[in-house]
Structure 1
C-alpha cells in the first residue's frame, strides 16, 4: 500500500467523520497547521502547576477563578487537583516553563440521572504567551479528550466580563447564556469515532516527543553553559597566576 495515499485517506476520513458529527470548529488540515504540543499533566507536575497559577496577575486570577484568589487559595486548589478523576493539560515553552494550563473536571460518578455526561473546562495562559491561540487550542484538545471518554457536554462557568473565554466557546459552537455578572457556555459533543481516537493518540504522541526534545535541548544547553563557566574560571585563574 502506498503510504501517501493511506495518509490522504485518513485525513479525508477524519474530515468526513467530523462533518457527519456536526462539530468541526476548524478544518482538520487548518487545525494541524496551527497545532501546538499539549501534554497531559500528572501528580509529578503539581509544583509546575502551582508556579504557573501563582504567576497569574491579580486580574487574571479573578477571571480564571471568578474571585481574587490569594496565593494560599491557589496552592490549595493545586493540591486538590484529582488526577485520577479529572484531566489536566499543559503547554510548555522551550525552557519547559508551563505557560498554559487547562483543567477538565468530570462530574463525580455517578453523574446526574437523566442529564448528559458533562465535564467543566477552565484554562489559564500567562500574559507573555497570549495572542497565539493557546486558549482555543486547549479547548479543542479538551473537547476531543472528553468526546473520546463518552462525555456529551462541555461546560464553562465564567464571569461575563471574561470575553476571551466566552469567545472561544462561541467560536467552537457553544451556546452561551448570560445571567448578570456570570455566564455559562454549553457545547454538545459528538460521539467518539475511530478518527477521533486516532487524532487524540497522534496528538499525545507528538506532544510527548516535543517535550522530550525540549528536555534534551535544555540539558545540553545547561551542560554547554557549565563548560563555558568552567572555562572562564580557568582562564581567569590563569591570568591571575601570571600577574
Structure 2
C-alpha cells in the first residue's frame, strides 16, 4: 500500500509554503478512544488526497474498514489537534512483518488543507522516527509517488536514500539505536502534548458551558415575543 502526504506534492496552488524556521507543535499519541477522530479526519480528505494517502481511490467504506482494522497495540498513531480538538494531521507508524521480531516500519501521514504549509508533516515524521528508535526499529520506510516532492524532501532531509521505479518511490532511512537522550526526549514530548491537549479540552468544555449559559432557553423572559 502506498502511503503519501495528501495535498503536499507541490501541485496545490493554495498550499502555503512551509516556513524555513523551526516550529514546534505538540503531537499526541492516539489510542483506540481516538478511533472516531481518526475516521473523521480521513473521511475529510477529498478524492485526490485519498488516492495519495491509500494508493487507490478509497471510498468511505474502504476508509471505515481501514480504521476498524487499526491495531493500536502493535502500531503507533500520532496526531496534531487544533483548538477545537479536531485532528488536523495524523501519522501512522506501521510495523512491517508479522513474526513480532521485525525491526522495520512504514510511515504514512495525512494533513487537512487548513494545516498544510506549516511543517506538520515534518514534525510528525520526526516524532515517528523518535518512537521507532525507542522501540528498537532500525529501518523506516516511506512509499510515495515520485511526484510527491514534499514527502521525499522530508525523508531526504532526515538522511534517507530514495529509490525510484517509474511513478513510485521508496525512501529508506536507517535509524540510530535508542539512547538515554532519545528516551528522555520522547518522555518530554509526550508530557508536553498531554498537557497541551488537556488545556485545549478544558477550553472547549468552557466554551460549550459559556454558550449553554448565553443561549436563551424556552421559558426564559428573553424569549417573550413583543
Q: TM-score, normalised by structure 1?
A: 0.81
Structure with more relative contact order (C-alpha pairs < 8 Å, separation 6 or more): 2
SS at match of 1:68: coil
Cα displacement (A) at 1:237 = 2.6
Structure 2: distance between partners of 1:232 and 1:174: 62
**Structure 2 unaligned regions, length at least 5:** 1-19
CA contact (8 A) 2:216 2:222 kept: no
Q: Secondary structure at the match of 2:90?
A: strand
**SS of residue matched to 1:167:** helix
Task: Report SS of the residue matched to 1:35.
Answer: coil
Match of 2:133 in 1: 147
Mapping for residues 12-27 of structure 1, pairs under 5 Å: none
**Unaligned residue ranges in structure 1 (runs of 5+):** 1-29
Q: Whole-Å Cα distance in 2 between the matches of residues 111 and 162 of structure 1?
A: 31
Contact 2:25/2:123, CA 8 A, preserved across alignment: yes
Are 1:168 and 2:154 matched, yes or no? Answer: yes
Q: CA deviation at 1:111?
A: 4.1
Determine helix, strand or coil for the equivalent of 2:172.
Answer: strand
CA 1:194/1:162 → structure 2, altered by over 3 Å: closer, same or farther? same
- The alpha-carbon deviation at position 232 of structure 1 amounts to 9.8
- What TM-score comes out, normalization by structure 2 length? 0.86
Residue 44 of structure 1, aligned match among 14, 33, 53: 33
Give the Cα separation in 1 of the matches to 2:108 and 2:73. Answer: 18
Q: How many residues were matched structurally?
A: 206
Larger radius of gyration: 1
Counterpart position of 2:109: 123
> Going by fraction, where is helix more abundant, 1 or 2?
1
In structure 2, the residue matched to 1:134 is: 120
